[in-house]
């Protein structure tokens, strides 16, 4: 059917009806019956759903949205509003929650960095906005400084703006690298302890030279206090993921910071189109969803949740170490993905990590765990649904004892 015919068809549909505000178009004029029961799209499409005992990984579709987030999305799904008005109002609310002057919902932490940097490069000049990513020779500053330990793949976010990344190691090298082309000094929280310059010194040096500072805290809640700690420290803009522990939409994140930077960053975002950010669109689903996620996260009983995580980890640990030859260790990463993490080790010449992963993957229910090369596996419980920890404990014990006992 041609597009024209489809459009023509819709205008003639006598049986088109609405259900909860959604337009339902019957397949045949007299076949308006809706499928009963819950539709299993995973099954229909032949996609394998699994219990995520690994963590918040993009390739595993991140995390699961909280019910409060889904409610916010559903509850606002039947009306339109102006995209900018919504970002204004939600931005004000979020900014107040995280001690920032301003905030905007972006398409993730990477997107927040890609948009925060041009907020610094172009200011509010609409002509400059159009020039990105060709900034050389325009009079715009072109260099983003970061420490060697902080030079990760995600810094490509800055390269997307046309900027160059200059890597330094010591405070002395930093001092020498700062020049009239320096646009930004970027810091990576998850590798903070691996760098030679810590947060406060980074911000102080930036302020001394009049260079804005930014920080990537994509995976750094919990603790919840990190949401405002870095803003209180004086970073000019901050990027965080919405789809990790915050459990908002996976395709959302936050850019928060100085008002002038956020205002300028928004010139690079939809609904405007002549910019580098048009392809990083978030709509009211992500914006309301992020607002609900953040509100819920900040008001949540984190101690109670932590106890549940510890109990669930202990349950799986006990099941695994009841198998002879399996050793366990529980630790909490100091930076990034701060959640109880169970390390399992055994003689991998008897059962390779890949084999165990395959067996868990192909079992019922399917389970994904994270491998540590061929040394063992790691397990987290923070994106599991209640009760799934029992299935993980049972399946792990079955497979480990079949191979090792």
Ligand X SMILES: *Cc1c(COP(=O)(O)O)cnc(C)c1O
Using rule CB under 6 A, residue 253 touches ligand X: yes
Residue partners of 171: CB distance under 8 A and separation at least 6: 196, 197, 201, 205
Chain residues 44-63 in contact with ligand X, contact rule CB under 6 A: 58
Of 192, 219, 269, 338, which one interacts with ligand X (CB under 6 A)?
219
Q: Pattern 85-114, binding to ligand X, x per CB under 6 A?
A: -----------------------xxxx---
CA distances from 374 to 348, 377, 392 (A): 7, 8, 20
Q: Which is nearer to ligand X, 108 or 376 (CB)?
A: 108
For the chain, the residue count is 405
Using rule CB under 6 A, residue 297 touches ligand X: no
Rg (CA), the chain: 24
Taking each continuous run of H as one helix and of E as one strand, the counts in the chain are 15, 15
Site residue total, ligand X (CB under 6 A): 12
User: CA 391 to CA 367: how far, in whole Å?
Assistant: 9
Using rule CB under 6 A, residue 340 touches ligand X: no
Using rule CB under 6 A, residue 216 touches ligand X: yes
Report yes or no: 278 and 295 within 8 Å, Cβ to Cβ: no
Beta strands 51-52 and 102-106, pairing class: unpaired
Token pair in block for residue 294: 């953040």
Q: How far is the CB of 241 from ligand X (least distance, A)?
A: 3
Of 103, 116, 154, 320, which one interacts with ligand X (CB under 6 A)?
154
Q: Which is nearer to ligand X, 245 or 319 (CB)?
A: 245
Token pair in block for residue 260: 């002038």
Q: How far is the CB of 115 from ligand X (least distance, A)?
A: 11
Q: How far is the CB of 216 from ligand X (least distance, A)?
A: 5
User: CA 191 to CA 130: how far, in whole Å?
Assistant: 34
**Residue carrying structure tokens 């390779």:** 352
Using rule CB under 6 A, residue 241 touches ligand X: yes
Q: Which is nearer to ligand X, 253 or 289 (CB)?
A: 253
Q: How far is the CB of 113 from ligand X (least distance, A)?
A: 7
Beta strands 102-106 and 253-257, pairing class: antiparallel
CB-count burial class (<10 Å; 0-12, 13-18, 19+) for 254: buried
Q: Pattern 181-200, binding to ligand X, x per CB under 6 A?
A: ---------x----------
Q: Which is nearer to ligand X, 190 or 323 (CB)?
A: 190
What's the distance, CA 141 to chain centroid? 29
Q: Which is nearer to ligand X, 140 or 217 (CB)?
A: 217
Of 104, 131, 218, 294, which one interacts with ligand X (CB under 6 A)?
218
The site for ligand X (CB under 6 A) is made up of: 58, 108-111, 154, 190, 216, 218-219, 241, 253
């Amino acid at each position: 059917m041609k597009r024209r015919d489809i459009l023509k068809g819709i205008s003639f549909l006598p049986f088109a009806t609405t259900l909860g505000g959604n337009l339902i178009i019957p397949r045949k004029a007299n076949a308006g019956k809706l499928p009963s029961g819950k539709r299993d799209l995973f099954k229909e499409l032949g996609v394998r759903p699994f219990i995520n005992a690994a963590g918040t990984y993009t390739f595993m579709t991140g995390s699961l949205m909280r019910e409060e987030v889904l409610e916010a999305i559903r509850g606002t799904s039947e009306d339109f509003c102006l995209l900018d008005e919504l970002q204004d109002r939600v931005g004000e609310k979020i900014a107040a929650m995280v001690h920032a002057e301003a905030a905007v919902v972006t398409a993730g932490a990477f997107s927040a960095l890609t948009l925060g940097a041009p907020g610094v490069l172009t200011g509010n000049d609409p002509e400059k906005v159009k020039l990105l990513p060709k900034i050389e020779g325009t009079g715009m500053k072109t260099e983003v400084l970061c420490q060697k330990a902080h030079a990760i793949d995600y810094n490509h976010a800055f390269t997307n703006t046309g900027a160059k990344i200059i890597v330094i190691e010591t405070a002395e090298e930093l001092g020498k690298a700062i020049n009239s082309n320096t646009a930004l000094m970027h810091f990576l929280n998850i590798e903070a302890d691996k760098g030679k310059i810590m947060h406060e010194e980074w911000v102080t040096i930036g302020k001394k030279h009049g260079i804005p500072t930014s920080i990537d805290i994509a995976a750094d809640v919990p603790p919840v206090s990190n949401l405002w700690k870095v803003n209180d420290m004086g970073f000019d803009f901050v990027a965080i993921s919405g789809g990790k522990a915050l459990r908002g939409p996976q395709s959302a994140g936050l850019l928060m910071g100085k008002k002038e930077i956020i205002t300028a960053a928004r010139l690079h975002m939809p609904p405007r189109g002549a910019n580098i950010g048009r392809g990083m669109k978030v709509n009211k689903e992500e914006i309301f969803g992020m607002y609900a996620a953040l509100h819920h996260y900040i008001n949540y009983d984190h101690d109670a949740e932590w106890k549940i995580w510890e109990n669930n980890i202990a349950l799986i640990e006990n099941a695994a170490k009841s198998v002879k030859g399996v050793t366990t260790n529980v630790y909490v990463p100091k930076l990034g993905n701060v959640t109880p993490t169970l390390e399992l080790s055994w003689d991998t010449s008897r059962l390779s990590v890949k084999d165990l992963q395959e067996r868990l993957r192909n079992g019922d229910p399917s389970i994904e765990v994270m491998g540590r090369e061929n040394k063992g596996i790691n397990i987290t419980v923070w994106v599991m649904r209640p009760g799934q920890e029992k299935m993980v404990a049972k399946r792990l014990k079955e497979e480990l004892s079949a191979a090792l006992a």
